[in-house]
A and B are shown apart, each in its own frame.
Chain A
Amino acid sequence: MEAADEWLLQSLRLYRDLHTFELQAPTRLIEWARGDRRVGWAGGKPSPCSWLFMPTHQGVCVAGYGQSDGNEILQLIPPPTLLTKETQGLCPERDFKVECGGFSERPVYSLKYVPDTSLLVTSGPPDSSLQVWQVSAEDSDVIKSISTIATENGTGQSWAKIDTISARAPWVLHGSRLDRIQITEVESRKNVYTAGIQAPQGSEELSSLAFLDCSLLLLCSATGRLCLADTRQPQGLTEAVPVPSAPSSERWCMGTRHAAQGSQPSSQPVARLSSRGLLALTDLRKTSEFLAVAKARVPSSGSGAEFLCVSWAPALEGYLAVSGFDGTVHVYDTQSWDSSGREAEPIFVHKGHTFGGAGGSRDPPLVTVHTWHLQKPRTLLSAASDGSLHVWDWVQPCGKCG
């Protein structure tokens, strides 16, 4: 208990605000229930992709991924301190409230809200099919399973990675390998687009995928290969950026940043993180070279790449966060990076999860996921394998980091 008490005392100067929660079951996803309200369109021709959105927070979603049946999906209302941009003076409530919940028969590895609808999509082992759920917070607090989007399950298919968009219709982009990705209409379950890369690269497992906008897709394979696709072109997937280093047993994942209003989606740098701690930043308009490469200061032992996570700060230019190596979350300022690949100094390290409540003899907890608050610039949420969920607002150190 000593070390934990010590950290808590230090936290008084390290964080502006700090909340620690214990979920009944650990989660490996934290999704903002982003109720983007359409409020108009941003200049120029009104096309579906230039709507002006005002992001409003309705809550945060977490879900269980354990082996047993009955994994819970929980939509939580954050404490009032998190819902507003400024920290209010008098906020007695520091708790999350469970707004609604559902039960999933399979572990939930990935979850995405379908914008402009009351639906969400989940995926998880044992196959690459997707489950569609209805959230109807008005008349009941149960998240109901309404349909399944089946996929052809070839051999060696693991669970599907997903992303959603509501452009012409609510769509979900999904796939588990580079040889077959699809866009399916969520409500009708009709397939609207399919693409894939031929063998041998096609058999590579996908580690993440994203809609850059309603027609541009970005995929990242576990080997670090980045592929782009334009749904309007017939060619399908094109390899944009090869693997950043000599292929080894490293696994890679990517983090993309949502474009600010009016700017091109491909102007945002894409970050790729390897299980060895290598961070490669790429500008999609100039894929022949790296924007920057650095090495995160993470333990070299590498506890596997199951929970690798890298994400860009939505409100701080050039900042990104990295987790999945141990019980910490690192925040880096990439603006000073070059392409040398040398070790970078984190601006801040959140160590809270290492002082796991259960303590002692068991394996130290591993951070499973982290996400940034959409408006409060230095606030992050992180979850670990012991069921802990932290919300923290770190203090920008003026000189070197602590």
Chain B
Amino acid sequence: MPEIKVTPLGAGQDVGRSCILVSIAGKNVMLDCGMHMGYNDDRRFPDFSYITQNGRLTDFLDCVIISHFHLDHCGALPYFSEMVGYDGPIYMTHPTKAICPILLEDYRKITVDKKGETNFFTSQMIKDCMKKVVAVHLHQTVQVDEELEIKAYYAGHVLGAAMFQIKVGCESVVYTGDYNMTPDRHLGAAWLDKCRPDLLITESTYATTIRDSKRCRERDFLKKVHETVERGGKVLIPVFALGRAQELCILLETFWERMNLKAPIYFSTGLTEKANHYYKLFITWTNQKIRKTFVQRNMFEFKHIKAFDRAFADNPGPMVVFATPGMLHAGQSLQIFRKWAGNEKNMVIMPGYCVQGTVGHKILSGQRKLEMEGRQILEVKMQVEYMSFSAHADAKGIMQLIRQAEPRNVLLVHGEAKKMEFLKQKIEQEFHVSCFMPANGETTTILTNPCIPVDISLGLLKRETAIGAAPDAKRPRLMHGTLLMKDNSFRLVSPEQALKELGLAEHQLRFTCRVHIQDPRKEHETVLRVYNHLKGVLKDYSVQHLPDGSITVESILIQATAHSEDQGTKVLLVSWTYQDEELGSYLTSLLKKGLPQSAP
């Protein structure tokens, strides 16, 4: 039976990095190549020895696919391609290709420069790795080779995130990466067509979550900002150039307008330029609203939000500042943080995950005394808040996606089997599909039932139509033909045509059987008796008495001769072709029973 094999790489039950190996119809694909952010040693990289046992990675893998730029999905890519060694193609969407190297370089700087690690990839390695990348567009079918093709679908979540369909012949797998099913202010919702893959691979980690609405999260954010500003404090929001910054800006602008607030809101100039640049490039990746805004005016032309000047940080009174970088590890956001940290009226709101070693990570862990350059201790008295705005699917979202795609099987990665039984049952009951939950390092084999398309010759089709009713897509019908396999195609043709094409001669098989009957009369009288008998019994068949003394039943021939030694016995010769086998053997057994006694 054909099968698809899936192995999530990694150790034990840990969640936190994505790297999945898929074998489909002889092709091997690696899905994502993430870094585990919780480890400082080699455990942060996926365990590639599972694959390298089989020889060179480049020979073994047909391609690598990266779903989006988050480090837990692409963080180990330079290590994998340059330090372990892989020279084949790496596929990702255009925005991912543009943003990945920036994040990887940032991450490298923090890990090597700040923390002094040595077993890590270099800037040059990041560049060399990106040279192997082939960027793809949404819904574009990309031929990796003659048999393997991939296609990217919109996933929402972050700019450039995609779900990928991997197809070889009639077998296909869809990998979702991270996605969300509800649109937000700057990204749309994930979408899949009814592609009916053999397997859908998705994360289980969010399946058991029921998420608080976006609006309540935003409300919480607004409340915190408002309260700080009301008491005269300053709010620092460190952001990465893309993504949440735009959303939060739009949110604050609307709020300020509505509440007629006067406190100034600033964003750092570096932010504007980068963001505008990327949004211009990837405008099709954002949602309708942003696109409209962008077309009408510059993304960052807000009424209440102005460009920041570093001198403003010393101004008295309340203000809100958006500054990069997002983890407070360097640059303007760190500068501002140092100035404001000592005042308990102020607040810093971290909008995302922070890598270990950064100031952001330290203060989120509760540290309130930080060692800065030159052994200076910084006391953090300002309020530290963390807002989780990341857009992930939840249980409801997963069910929606499965409903859209109609896979035959579902595979959930990164969950504990015990804790996922309910979800498994739910999926199995609602969609009548099998649901698999492999542990990391465990291989799951899914049996597929591929349909092999066969072309039917026109002649055969016409012949079949002539026999009975027209072909009906809903009713299977039995028919006879010859299956020809030539090159990589299958055709169904009539036997005659097959013989012709193969250059074979047709042979006719004819069977003859002798039936002895006790009958002392003359031969022609016996024949008449047989004829009448058969005519009476075989009412639905054409029974004929020919002038030459033989009987035909359809195409079967019956002749009577006298037995050479015994005059009282007549020998009936029953002769039929292979096609009439059934009728022939029926006739034979009928005749063997003997003729009725009554007078002819």
Task: State the A residues within 8 Å of B (CB).
Answer: 4, 8-9, 11-12, 17-24, 70, 72, 76, 79, 89-90, 92-103, 139-143, 357, 389
Complex Cα gap A94–B215 (Å): 12
**Given contacts A12-B223, A94-B217, A89 and B419 within 8 Å (CB-CB):** no
B355-369, CB under 8 A of A: which get 1 and which 0? 000000000101000
Instruction: Please give, as numbers and ranges, the residues of chain A lying within 8 Å of B223 by CB-CB distance.
Output: 12
Q: Which residues of B contact A99 (CB under 8 A)?
A: 208
Number of contacting residues on B, CB 8 A?
Answer: 38
Q: Which residue of B lies closest to A102 (CB)?
A: B422
Query: B384: CB under 8 A from chain A?
Result: yes
Indicate if the CB atoms of A90 and B216 lie closer than 8 Å: no
Chain B residues with Cβ below 8 Å from A143 are 422
* Chain A proximity of B369: nearest CB distance (Å): 17
The residues in B between 399 and 447 inclusive whose CB is less than 8 angstroms from any CB of A are: 399, 418-422, 425-426, 429-430
Which of A8, A76, A101, A141 lies in contact with B215, CB distance below 8 A?
A8
- In the bound complex, residues from chain A placing their C-beta under 8 Å from that of B419 are 141
Contact with A along B210-231 (1 / 0, CB 8 A): 1111011101101100100000
Tell me the bound Cα distance from A19 to B387 in angstroms: 14
Judging by beta carbons under 8 Å apart, are B211 and A95 in contact? yes
- Contact of A101 with B422 at beta-carbon distance under 8 Å, contacts A18-B216, A94-B217 already known: yes
Which A residues are in CB contact (< 8 Å) with B211? 21, 94-95
- Find out whether the CB atom of A103 lies under 8 angstroms from the CB atom of B425: yes
- Could you say which of A4, A92, A95 contacts B210, with CB atoms under 8 Å apart? A95
CB 8 Å contact bits of B338-369 with A (1 = contact, 0 = none): 00000000000000000000000000101000
| 8 sampled A-B residue pairs with Cβ under 8 A | A11-B219, A22-B210, A24-B395, A94-B217, A94-B388, A101-B426, A139-B418, A141-B422
Shortest Cβ distance from B384 into A: residue: A90
Given the interface pairs A76-B210, A98-B422, the reply to whether A22 lies near B396 with Cβ below 8 Å is yes
CB distance from A22 to the nearest CB of B (A): 7
Tell me, rounded to whole Å, the shortest Cβ–Cβ distance linking B359 to chain A: 16
The distance in angstroms between the C-alpha atoms of A143 and B422, with both chains bound, is 8
A96 touches B213 (CB 8 A): no
At the interface, yes or no: B312 with Cβ under 8 Å from chain A? no
Tell me, in angstroms, the Cα distance from A95 to B208 when the chains sit together: 10
Pick from B213, B259, B418, B426: contact of A72, CB under 8 Å: B426
Whether B383 is near chain A, meaning CB under 8 Å from some CB there, is: yes
Contacts A12-B222, A90-B384, A141-B418 hold; do A98 and B215 have CB atoms under 8 A apart?
no
By beta carbon, the residue of chain B nearest A389 is B210
- Which of A8, A76, A139 has its CB near the most chain B CB atoms (within 10 A)? A8
- With A12-B223, A12-B226, A24-B395 known as contacts, the answer to whether A100 contacts B422 (CB < 8 A) is yes
**Shortest Cβ-Cβ A-B pairs, 7 listed:** A94-B212, A101-B422, A96-B210, A98-B208, A20-B213, A92-B386, A92-B388
The one of A11, A12, A94, A142 in contact with B422, judged by C-beta atoms closer than 8 angstroms, is A142
Tell me whether A94 and B208 are in contact in the complex, defined as CB-CB below 8 angstroms, given that A139-B418, A141-B419 are known contacts.
no
**Taking the complex as formed, is B209 at the interface, i.e. its CB lies under 8 A from any CB of chain A?**
yes
Complex contacts, A90 vs chain B, CB 8 Å: 364, 366, 384-386
Q: In the complex, what residues of A have CB within 8 A of residue B215's CB? A: 4, 8, 20
Does chain A have a CB within 8 A of B255? yes
